[in-house]
Structure 1
Amino acid sequence: MLEPGGVGLRTRLFQIIFESDTKAGKAFDIALAALIVLSVAVVMLDSVAAYHERYGLLFYGIEWLVTVLFTIELGVRIYCLQTPGRYLKSFYGVIDVLSILPTWLALFFPGAHMLVVVRLLRTLRLIRVLEMMSLAGQGRLLLEALRRSRGQITLFLFVVFMVVIIFSTLLYMIEPPEAGFTSIPKSVYWGIVTLTTVGYGDITPITPMGQFLSVLIMLTGYSIIALPVGVFSAEVINTLRAERYSDESCPGCGHARHEPDARYCKLCGTWLNEERRDPRQTS
């Protein structure tokens, strides 16, 4: 846990920058998020040739102004902390450093300033300000479900990749080079695009057999879309059940799925724990 590096000014700065339970802290986080959105919007607009030609100098000035402010803010964060090294190694510390590097690197590597879009990650601090911690808990739930289903999903992706390789190789053997299937890797690209039902159209089979195989792989793509969704949904349900029920087993029948505050087994009525036993039930 981060702590202020001293009393007085450093403590006051710490409360404003790292805490959001005060008006000053909330205002600071909201102002910081507004600057982040402004800088990202400037970079996006600057990539449009017409806007760059007309407002390029304005965009350049805004980007450097925001970068200097973020650099000063990072220095103040380090100044008011007791252990700044610990903060710089944390997730938010790394993001804070990365958010100012692109503009400075642009002095030596033109175009690097486009990477300032990483600043959007800093808006995660708004979770505290907007009181969205319940959403953070739901995000943790989804990550836990994803972790539990990683084996099934990995197997599914492996099978899909094998299907793509087989179909793509067949198309490479059937289709002439002028159709675009000039190599197996190029055919694999077509297979992935077709299986995911995207269909860019830059490579298309022209023979009847190739078109028939294309239909098969497209139908296969539609049929397998629901598989990973089903696996993930099942793991979400299992995770919810695991958090809802305790692991305490009934000493009478061995049933292990009880509410956390349950005192009796819902199947046989046995006391689950002597410490929870109702004194009025004792003889």
Structure 2
Amino acid sequence: MPDAARRQHGLRVVLRHLYEAGTPRAKRFRYALLVLDILSIGWIVLASFLPLSLLVLTVDVLLGLLLLAEFGFRVAASGVPLRTFLNPLNLADLVAIGSLLLAPLLHGALGFLRVLRTLRLLHSVRLIASLRSDLPFFRRNEEAALAAAQLAVFIFVMTGLVFETQHRTNPGIRNYADALYFTVTSLTTTGYGDVTLPGTTGRLLSVIIMLAGVTLFLRLAQALFRPVRVRFPCPACGLERHEPDAVHCKACGQLLNIPNEGTD
């Protein structure tokens, strides 16, 4: 094998280990990616309060380069790079990264594309789920935690859409705080009426927020008030959800050995 091919193969092996393995080093790496995701979204929110300046544009480009490098590592680590690249969530992430890198040329004209970065949190939710062995609280409340995370992602996405489509023309939407206020009052159907989205596009966006928000709230309520279940695949029939103190599978009667905090 040529040296270049050997080095490329070695890099892919290292990256796949970091993205997929269960070693402490790999888990620390993935937690660092989760922090990067949260910080990048935090910057997108913070930048909405700041005037367009050289400092803001510089941070945009540097953040875009960092996220682009992580995107490249993510694709390289995959056993099917083309499929990974064409994944809708990854394509949305790439568009958001492009809007950061091109910020000096666009002068914020396509800033609304940055909201797509929040979709990356959907991947982060799955990352946390894969690391449930490190988080006893998450393991005990996984369904509710995932439902709450999905609701938070929806609020982030809708807030970003409201802000980016309204802040230039709507005096009631001046920053992310105003957009968040409208989003929350709409999805809770409180609707104070002091902030509205005019036009057909605004009304349709309001309808989406209300309908999808109510659905996600109901899902969160069901997860919170449903009897607690633990995830443990039955070795006989494959049923995954059982009562924490279950001794036998309720579907097939197979003897279970569910780990708990006292036997981990």
Q: Which category of TM-score, normalised to the shorter sequence, fits these structures? A: 0.3 to 0.5
Which of 1 and 2 has greater Rg?
1
Q: Give TM-score scaled by structure 2 length.
A: 0.46
